[in-house]
Amino acid sequence: MYSALFYTFSERYSTHEEPVSAPYIRKHFFLNETKVYLNLCGLGFYRLFINGKEITRSKYASYIYNPDDLLYYDRYELENYVQRGENVLGLILGNGFLNNIGGQVWALDKAKFRSSPKFACSMESSSGEVLFEADESFCWHESPIVYDDWREGEHYDAREEIPDWKEINFDDSAWKSVIRAETPKGIPTESKAPPVLKKAEYKPRCMQKNGRKGSRHCCFLS
C-alpha cells in the first residue's frame, strides 16, 4: 500500500542566505512478527536506517523525477533488520531536485512542485495488513548537514553531531513532531530502476591551479 500521507519538518525553503538543515527523523515501533515490508517515498533524496543500520537501496533514492508526474516508492523487506518487540526507523532527508536552491539550468527554484523535503511511508505485515503509516508520531531534529544542494554538495558541521541518534535506546523526547505536507500530484508506483551504488573510490593524484585566483582543480589520472 502506497501511503499518500506526506510529512515534513518545516515549511521553509532552503536558500543560500538562510539554509535549512537536513533533518534527522525517527519513529519507534513495535512488532509481533519480523516478516514485514516498508514502502517509502522520500522527496527529494533520503537515507534509511533500521535499528541503527543503513539499508538505503540507492545513493539517489527516491531517484530524480517530477513528483507531479510520478511518485517512486522503494519497497524494503525488513525481516533481516527488525526484531520482535521494540524497533526504530531513522531517516535523513535531503533537498534533491525538490527544494533546489540555485535553479540555474532548469529553473527548479521556481518549480510548481517545490517544497521542503518530505516523505510518506507505510509498513505492512506478511498478510498485507498495514501496521502503520507516517504520522505525527514521527519526530525530527536538525542534523549536522547544515546545507545541501544537488549541485553544490553538503556543508557538514561536526559540532552538531548527535551520537547514536538512529539507535533504539536513544532518548528523542525533546525532538519535535513532523508536520503534514501537501501530497504531490504524481502517480504512486514502485521503482524498478537499478540502484545507483558506490563501486569504487578515487583519490586525486595532484592538485593544480587553473589560472583563476584561489581556484584549484584535481587530477585523477596516474
| Exposed/middle/buried for residue 127 (C-beta within 10 Å: 0-12, 13-18, 19+) | exposed
Delineate the domains of the chain, giving CATH numbers in brackets: 7-219 (2.60.120.260)
Q: Which three cell numbers stand for residue 167?
A: 539507535
Backbone torsions φ then ψ of 75, nearest 5 degrees: -110, 125
The predicted model scores a pTM of 0.87
The DSSP output letter for 152 is T
pLDDT digits (tens, 9 = 90+) for 108-139: 777 788 888 999 999 999 999 999 999 999 99
Per-residue pLDDT tens for 174-186? 999 999 999 999 9
3-state secondary structure of 108: helix
